[in-house]
Amino acid sequence: MDENADHAASIYASMSGTDSFSVISSNPSIFTALPQPNSLVLTIFHRPPSLSPPAQIIPITTLSALTESFLPSLFTSTLKPSSIQTRFLRLHSPQILEVRIPLPSPTPSLDSIRHLEALTAFERNHNVEIVVQLNTPLRSHPRLCLFDMDGTLIHQETIDELARTVGRYEDVSAITARAMNGELEFKDALRARVAVLKGVEETIWQRLEAILKIREGAKDLCRGLMRLGAEVGIVSGGFHPMVDWLARELGIQHRFANRLSSALTITDFGPKLSTDSTGCLTGSLVPDAPIVDSHQKLSLLHSLRVSASPLPIDPPIFDTLAPQTSAASPFPPRFRPIPASQTITVGDGANDLPMLRAAGLGVAFNAKPMVQQQAPARLNGSSLVEVLYLLGFDEGEVVWLTREEE
């Protein structure tokens, strides 16, 4: 089993407010026959600057020809042009092209391909973004997708908007600047910013709902992923009242965030009065509640791969491979975890990098420059729906996946 699975029950229960598990893994040995990559796939997004003259806008057929002539040189001429397969996924801005090529031999690491100077030069010269992935039959079948909230599913940073709304933005931004300069660790910076909010009335959450702006395409992307059968969750360094609101807006089941101590503690089962009856934030976090930082986001990805898995191992085929769970284990037998290759994570900050690297597809969306440099994939578009094109769907299929129920 995944080395983090032993902590799945405690992490999930403490963060979500429930100790129930529907499906759990018990044995990793049955996953050795997962589909192997049969090719490399490059998804190419052409998005010229909005004020570009027509000469800088490349017709997609021309872009396809440029790509097919460029790729053999990228792999030291071991790639035959006849083996390149091209698909047009989207014909208007952003134009999206998918190119599949046989795995080079020997196969370089994806990181080494992504950071090839020739590839980055091609991106600069033609105003394109290229996402490189291994192609397997499971690429279009994600089963777990986790999103950061601030700057990803919504445009703003929740704590900044909260502080701005109550006239304490300068104090909070000064602490943020210290954290960005490396003077404060994330947890210390979070506690310091929360302390500034002491005495703020809890009605602030309702006021923020009218201020926070959901990212374009967020609802459609979540709808499409869930239509594909994926579990979708939010893992945020923000605060539970706003994450709970956003989860309701997007129809998301799993949500994890930091919990502020106040007169009204929001739980997964609804409002619950605390011993403090002032109706104001106390300026501290709920004692003993885990802080959602980069390590916790990674742990939640691992644990949800176990606890969110909807696929049982059907007996009796695997009975000899999947021994019964021991009495000491909190997990029922014969359930398999979600393979990492069928997970997606999307974020924009440095604290998202560990989960971006650990997922089958980790996307830095409109992220900070350092995050874009280090993430497995990056997108700088206006709509989160673009993530669906990375799964190999064309525009018609994306429209079908994201349609509202009739």
Contact 311, 28 (CB under 8 A): no
As a whole number of Å, the end-to-end CA separation of the chain is: 41
| 351 token code pair | 């604290």
Distance CA 8, CA 128 (A): 40
Distance CA 337, CA 188 (A): 34
Helix boundaries (H) for 197-340: 204-209, 218-227, 240-250, 294-307
Catalytic residues: 148, 150
Strand-pairing partners, residue 258, are 239
Q: Spell out a b/e string for 55-85, using b for 16 or more CB atoms within 10 Å of the CB, else e.
A: eeebebeebbebbbebbbebbeeebeeeebe
3-state helix, strand, coil in the chain (%, to 5): 40, 20, 40
Contact 230, 147 (CB under 8 A): no
Q: Which residue has the tokens 């650990």?
A: 358
Which of 277, 278, 200 lies closest to 241 in space, CA to CA? Answer: 200
Distance CA 396, CA 104 (A): 31
Distance CA 285, CA 294 (A): 17
Residue 314: count other Cβ atoms within 10 Å of its Cβ.
Answer: 9
Residue 353: count other Cβ atoms within 10 Å of its Cβ.
Answer: 22
